[in-house]
Amino acid sequence: MDKLLISGGRPLSGEVRISGAKNAALPILAATLLTQAPVVLENVPELRDIATMLKLLSQLGVRYRFGANTLEIEASKPESVLAPYELVRTMRASILVLGPLLARCGEAIVSLPGGCAIGARPVDLHLKGLKALGADIRVEAGYIHARAKRLKGCRLVLDQVTVTGTENLMMAAVLAQGKTVIENAAREPEVTDLAEFLVKLGAKISGIGSDVLEIEGVDGLDSGPVHHVILPDRIETGTYLTAAAITQGCIRTTHTRPELLDAVLDKLKEAGAAIIHGPDWIELSQTSRPRAVSFHTAPYPGFPTDMQAQLMALNCIAEGVGIITETIFENRFMHALELRRMGADITLEGHTAICRGVAKLEGAPVCASDLRASASLVLAALAAEGETVIDRIYHIDRGYERIEAKLAKLGATVQRIRE
Ligand code: EPU
């Protein structure tokens, strides 16, 4: 398993180009199952999770060519409706093929995702919604078997805000008979990007960007070739800006969208950063020790759970005490235990982490437990004195494109140790 070796303690500076958003690309890739039209997607990040989704789609009969962040993809004739355990267990987002397969082929057999490091992460709301749309759903021997000649539009009120749940149900509803209304829908920008892509395919969706999506089902989504540019990754943007804050450096992120990061930028400003931005760039400079910040995670436009670990790393070396409450996932503090090994003073009390800033972190061998936890360890390592070796770095390759190259360009001393 690859490791990252980081020698910390120097301010980062320079410009970094932000990649396309993993969490927008994944559902959009799954959505290509809904049409036989050729699709060209640009700004697709080259990540492990994208490779996994492409592997799954090719097993379903989808043809593609991928290079230089451009994906030409065509699902002219799906050949299978099976998403096997071997792939789903490596990436939970495989569940995103459930809605499109069911809508296009009338059947889907998808391995039930298990829990993961950050929580139990059930998919009951996906299944409840599909049942309400008229699907016959059975779970047998670890697989979801879903069937419906044609789904029928209805009103769905989601018990809880769910990102991939909203995406799955929206993708299923676009080919249903009649109108579907999804209330308490997730408003994450990645859901909006998917909706905009579906509209390009010929779907009829209104309320895009709000928590009530109205979908008028159509008979087919084959209006012709479609071109779409994947939304920039707001979490990657926030992670690099936090790298500037934690190292007291100055970084400009380009090819991004400042308006998608309000909650994160507010916290970074509260920590003492000076932030300026243009329409597609954000620059952060930090000239003194950051101040600790307190927040709770919440669905968009609240503070994203996917940035919680990174801001915790910032709090570790900040002045004062920061209190972080995680409200989305029940076990998303694994990084705290590793940060402590680098000298951080963090107390965990249920869903709350109390961080008392220390003057310096010290490099140490640490182990990544999930994608954003790895990002927080990278940030801590960049600020720490001495060398940090981060094990299980495959987690970071799932969601950060060419991270060592990007960090090295910003002046970090970072090296991948291949094993
Ligand atoms: N939930 C249920 N039942 C369901 C679905 C969700 O109880 O049927 C619960 C979850 O257990 C969780 C909450 O609802 O407590 C919200 O989960 P959600 O469904 O929104 O999460 P997700 O769709 O599985 C996506 C992202 C995650 C991100 C979350 C929250 C993708 C592929 N994944 O997951 O991204 O943390 O939304 O914003 O879009 C990451 O990129 O590192 C990552 C984990």
pLDDT score of 415 more than 90: yes
pLDDT score of 223 more than 80: no
pLDDT score of 188 more than 80: yes
Q: Backbone phi, then psi, for 152, in 5-degree steps?
A: -120, 130
CA atoms within 13 A on the CB side of 170: 37
* Alpha helices in 202-327, H assignment, sequence order: 234-246, 262-270, 308-316
Residue nearest to atom 5 of ligand 1 (CA): 123
For position 118, what pLDDT does the model report? Answer: 79
Per-residue tokens: 147: 């069937």
Residues ≥6 apart with Cβ < 8 Å to 13 = 244, 249, 250, 251, 410, 411
For position 345, what pLDDT does the model report? Answer: 98
pLDDT digits (tens, 9 = 90+) for 6-22: 999 999 999 999 999 99
**Helix, strand or coil, per DSSP, at residue 38:** coil
pLDDT score of 114 more than 80: no
Instruction: Give distance in angstroms: CA of 134 to centre of ligand 1.
Output: 24
For position 1, what pLDDT does the model report? Answer: 84
* Ligand 1 atom nearest to 120, measured from its CA: 11
pLDDT digits (tens, 9 = 90+) for 250-271: 999 999 999 999 999 999 999 9
pLDDT digits (tens, 9 = 90+) for 119-140: 778 999 999 999 999 999 999 9
pLDDT score of 240 more than 90: yes
Residue ranges around ligand 1 (CB below 6 Å):
23, 26, 93, 119, 121-126, 160, 162-165, 190, 305-306, 328-329, 371-372, 399
3-state SS, one letter per residue, for 153-183: CCEEECCCCCHHHHHHHHHHHCCCECEEEEE
Judge whether 355 counts as a catalytic residue. no
For position 121, what pLDDT does the model report? Answer: 85
Residue 178 backbone class (left: φ over 0; alpha: ψ -120 to 50; beta: rest): left
pTM over 0.85? The answer is yes
Mean pLDDT of the region 155-173 = 98
Other C-beta atoms within 10 Å of 146: how many? 26
- Angle between the N-to-C axes of helices 22-31 and 98-105, in degrees from 0 to 180, rounded to the nearest 10: 20
Tally: H helices and E strands in the chain:
14, 24
pLDDT digits (tens, 9 = 90+) for 288-346: 999 999 999 999 999 999 999 999 999 999 999 999 999 999 889 999 999 999 999 99
Per-residue tokens: 9: 């303690």
Per-residue tokens: 341: 């090994």
* Ligand 1 atom nearest to 124, measured from its CA: 8
**Helix, strand or coil, per DSSP, at residue 282:** strand
Work out the mean pLDDT of the chain and round it to a whole number.
96
Probe target for ligand 1 pocket from 19, 23, 234, with the most ligand atoms within 8 Å of CB? 23
